[in-house]
Amino acid sequence: MNYVFGPVPSRRLGQSLGIDTIPLKTCNWNCVYCQLGRTVPLTNERKEYFPRADILAEVKATLDSHQPGEIDWVTFVGSGEPTLHSGIGWLIREVKALTDIPVAMITNGSLLYLPEVRRDLALADVVMPSLDAGTAVLYRQLNRPHPDVTFDRLVEGMIAFRQAYSGQIWVEVMLMQGLNDTEAALQAIAAVLRRIQPDEVHINLPTRPPAETWVQEPDEDGLLRARVILGDIATVVHPAAGEFDLGGFETAVDAIIAIITRHPMRQEELEQALARWTPGHVREALRDLAASGQAQVIERYGMRFWSAAPSHYPDETHSLAAAPKHR
């Protein structure tokens, strides 16, 4: 499988079948917290990165191989920004024609200012855009966007989409200590949310290896401020517990590459997810991947994560020098 992975456990979406429409890492943001590392280079070009028919064929084959009830959601979530794939609207329509399972779209929301992107996402049951900052200054510091995707375009695009869209909008806020968990930063985010009028707000935490070493999870005071200021529609989303379905792969190497390209994981997590192979076999596969340059180990939060080799993570000295001042 090249484009479809899982189902994987999600606290919000149960067992979610992921669809990855773009190569690692194709994005118009370079977020300081991204678990896939830095975006090198930034791109804002919409095109057919992978053939849409090939993606759909994998989706159909995977759906056919699972029993009813084994998949709760079909989720478009790319190794970057999935709406950069110009065929995303066609793919959503065709997936909806294949199954009654609801479709979710995880997106940074930066292209919703384009009418064609709003039309593309209109058939999804849930759209989950990001809003990590309530001001243009903090937006540039945290999301480090392509010059064409400004803060005004981000906000106006989400407002326009809300006005025309009949499905659910769940806005995601990645909360980081000393960066956007202050009272001023949260009040600014809350003001923008009042303009967007989402159905829910999900407060996410950077629990997997962030691109920059200085990114830290908020403390309890920061979480309390966020819940109070962002209001009753805001909930904290903690990592989900559950099994990763990696049964569609013939070798441990293929299964490992498929999952760490989208979700960097600790070795013990991989050994648990790959229980069909022995822990020794998984460790051997990881050694082979590292030796061949296909995988790398990233240290964050005092833990070691396996990630795909193409992901760009700076060293600690350089990253700390680039840390923005707390706001």
Return d(Cα 262, Cα 319) in angstroms, integer: 22
Q: What is the pLDDT of residues 39-75, one digit of tens each?
A: 999 999 999 999 999 999 999 999 999 999 999 999 9
Per-residue pLDDT at 213 exceeds 80: yes
Domain ranges in the chain are 4-245
HSE, side-chain direction, 13 A CA sphere, residue 247: 10
Question: Tell me, what's the pLDDT at 172?
Answer: 97
Backbone phi, psi, residue 325, to 5°: -70, 145
Question: Tell me, what's the pLDDT at 321?
Answer: 44
Looking at per-residue pLDDT, the higher value among 258 and 171 belongs to 171
Which tokens go with 105? 């779209």
Question: Tell me, what's the pLDDT at 287?
Answer: 86
Question: Tell me, what's the pLDDT at 247?
Answer: 61
CB 107 within 8 Å of CB 124: no
4-245: what fold? TIM Barrel (3.20.20)
Question: Tell me, what's the pLDDT at 322?
Answer: 54
CB 181 within 8 Å of CB 189: no
How many other CB atoms sit within 10 Å of the CB of residue 133?
A: 24
Return d(Cα 114, Cα 112) in angstroms, integer: 5
Return d(Cα 5, Cα 111) in angstroms, integer: 25
CB 210 within 8 Å of CB 252: no
Per-residue pLDDT at 276 exceeds 90: no
Tell me how far CA of residue 126 lies from CA of 65, 73, 102, 200, 226, in angstroms.
Answer: 24, 10, 8, 11, 23
Residue 320's pLDDT band (cuts 50, 70, 90): very low
How many other CB atoms sit within 10 Å of the CB of residue 46?
A: 19
Q: What is the pLDDT of residues 127-156, one digit of tens each?
A: 999 999 999 999 999 999 999 999 999 999
How many other CB atoms sit within 10 Å of the CB of residue 195?
A: 11
Q: What is the mean pLDDT of the chain?
A: 90
Residue 285's pLDDT band (cuts 50, 70, 90): confident
Omega of the bond leading into 7 within 30 degrees of 0 (cis):
yes
Q: What is the pLDDT of residues 84-125, one digit of tens each?
A: 999 999 999 999 999 999 999 999 999 999 999 999 999 999
Q: What percent of the chain has pLDDT over 70?
A: 93
